[in-house]
Amino acid sequence: MVVQTPSKIFKNDFRIWQENEKSIITEILKDEEKTHTLVSLKEILLDIEGEVRFNFDGERTLLILPLYGEIIITDFYEPISAGMSLTLNAQSGKDIVIKNLVHHDRSDLLIFEFKKDECPQKFSKNELDFTLKNNAFQISKTIQHPNFIGLYNSRAEGYYALKESDKSIFGMVINGAFEFQNRLMENRDAILLWELEELEFEALSENALILFMEV
C-alpha cells in the first residue's frame, strides 16, 4: 500500500519558456525549501548554431543531461550527446558556455544545479546504457547523493528505499507516463516528494523514461 506523502507537482503544461536569441529556457525547479542539495533545474532548447551562457554566484556542481542532439561545453573538448551525462564543478564568477553541435536541428538538454559536491574530477562523463529495461541506474557516478534514470515497459514497477530519511525525492518523466508514488505524471512533468521512506512507481506506457534522485 502506497502511503500518501506531501508533494509538489511541476506540470509541463504550466511551464513558462523564456525566448532568447538562439535558445529557449524554462526553469522547472528553483530554490525549493524541501531540497538539501538541488538548487535549480532548467530545460534548454538550443537553436541551430545556438548557445547559452551561465554564471554562478557561488561554486556549484552541475549535471548536464542531453535529451536530444549533441552539445559542447566550455573547457571540455569532447561532444556530449543524448545517452550521456556530464558532471562538472563550476567556479564562482566563471562563465559556462554550452553550444549546439547539430547543424540541422535543435538540441534539448537538462541542467541540474547542485550545491558544491566534493567531486574528485572537474569533469566526469558517463555513458547511459538503456539495454536493460525496467532497471534504474546512475545518471552520474561522481555526484555523492543517489541519482537514477531508467527505461520501463508498460506496467513495469519500481521501488526505491531512501538512503537518508531526511532527504526529499525529485522525479521527472522524460518520456511517457508513470504513476509515481500514487500521482499521475506525464511527459516532462516533475515532482518533489518529502516525508517518505520508500518510493514506488509504475510505468503506464511503453518505453517510458524516468529519472529520480535524493535531494
Given a cut of 80, whether residue 3 has pLDDT beyond it is no
- Predicted pLDDT of residue 162: 97
Strand, helix or coil at 9?
A: strand
pLDDT at 101 over 60: yes
Cβ burial 36-51 (10 Å sphere, 16+ → b, else e): ebbbbbbbbbbbeebb
What is the mean pLDDT of the segment spanning 55-73? Answer: 94
How far is it, in rounded angstroms, from Cα 138 to Cα 159? 15
* pLDDT tens per residue, range 118-127: 655 689 999 9
Average pLDDT of the chain is: 94
- Which residue, among 118, 158, 172, 160, has the nearest Cα to 142 in the 3D structure? 118
**pLDDT value of position 31:** 85
Torsion from C-alpha of 31, 37, 40, 43, nearest 10 degrees: -150
Residue 87: pLDDT over 60: yes
pLDDT at residue 121 in the model: 61
Question: Under a CB-based contact definition with an 8 Å cutoff, are residues 193 and 171 in contact?
Answer: yes
Q: What stretch of H or E contains 24? A: strand 23-30
pLDDT digits (tens, 9 = 90+) for 142-185: 998 999 999 999 999 999 999 998 999 999 999 999 999 999 99
**pLDDT tens-digit readout, 46-60:** 999 999 999 988 889
